[in-house]
Amino acid sequence: MASNRKRPIAHSIYKRVILKISGESLKGNSAFGIDPEVLRYLAMQIKEAAQMGTQLALVLGGGNFWRGEEWEARGMDRATADYAGMLAILMNALALQDALEREGLITRAMSALDVQAVAEPYIRRRAISHLEDGRVVLFAAGIGNPYMTTDTAAALRALEINAEVVLMAKYRVDGVYDSDPHKNPNAKRFTHLRYIEALNLHLEVMDATALSLCMDNALPIIVFDLFTPGSLSRILAGEPLGTLIALDGETAAAKGYASPADTQRR
């Protein structure tokens, strides 16, 4: 996988951010589980971001191993299936933590489920203190409750720790489109969307519970392709990459994103 060009390290415009990484991304090109090349790539991107002086907390998904809904459809009790999903997220957290530490980062994994042998329990004040001390924090096991998703965990944890933005990392999709860009060559990418527009479009990019939590609390979301090398750092440096989901055009303009009408054609 391509590595980043060497360039001077810019300073982050954000003090504290949440980066949501779905399980699907960790899978890379494999059919199931984790691709070690992807882990290494992510660790390099995260290291570069951490060097920009931003406090970085990661929320991991688990869909590369397990999805509660799918097992419910196969006849399993939903809550049980969801708890299994939360355990899957823990495997991802341990694997990414290991890759980050091999890149020399200091990390802490915090779990919403009690698994003290492998991760600290999630305690809000302790999480903030880790971030202030320059550690990369991995939030695992979602919220710790069934019927929830890790998107909602990303929104909730961002609000709890006063993160300024939720960065929704996508696998080879560089923002929100009006239709699937892999299937429709005329799909249009939005540079900016209001929360309500994103909700009405029933986008797959983030679930409705997470979106409405962000909307109610005016927490901006940036949807971007983490698999374009350097994209995370460029966003932290203030470049308007991907799609910003926020309250209004003014907020978007202030962040350098064009108005909603000004969508880009591929």
Q: Give the residue nearest to ligand UDP (CB).
A: 61
In the complex with ligand UDP, the residue whose CB is nearer, 151 or 174, is 151
Look-up of token digits 């300073």: 11
- Classify residue 255 by burial, with Cβ atoms within 10 Å: 0-12, 13-18, 19+: middle
Site for ligand UDP in 35-94 (CB under 6 A): 61-63, 67-69, 81-82, 85-86, 89
DSSP 8-class letter at 4: P
Least Å distance, CB 173 to ligand UDP, is 14
Among 38, 99, 127, 153, binds ligand UDP (CB under 6 A): 153
Least Å distance, CB 73 to ligand UDP, is 12
Least Å distance, CB 187 to ligand UDP, is 22
In the complex with ligand UDP, the residue whose CB is nearer, 226 or 252, is 226
Least Å distance, CB 207 to ligand UDP, is 8
Site for ligand UDP in 202-261 (CB under 6 A): none
Look-up of token digits 């984790």: 34
Count of residues engaged in binding ligand UDP, rule: CB under 6 A = 22
In the complex with ligand UDP, the residue whose CB is nearer, 61 or 175, is 61
Q: What distance in Å separates the CA atoms of residue 265 and residue 251, rounded to the nearest whole number?
A: 22
Give the Cβ contact number of residue 128 at 10 Å. 17
Q: Judged by CB under 6 A, does residue 148 bind ligand UDP?
A: yes
Q: What is the 3-state secondary structure (H, E, C) of 166-233?
A: EEEEECCCCCEECCCCCCCCCCEEECEEEHHHHHHCCCCCCCHHHHHHHHHCCCCEEEEECCCCCHHH
Q: Where are the alpha helices (DSSP H) in the chain?
A: 23-27, 36-50, 68-73, 78-102, 124-132, 150-160, 195-200, 208-216, 231-236, 249-254
- Here's the x/- map for ligand UDP, 96-135, by CB under 6 A: it reads as ----------------------------------------
Interface with ligand UDP (CB under 6 A): 22-24, 61-63, 67-69, 81-82, 85-86, 89, 142-143, 145-146, 148-150, 153
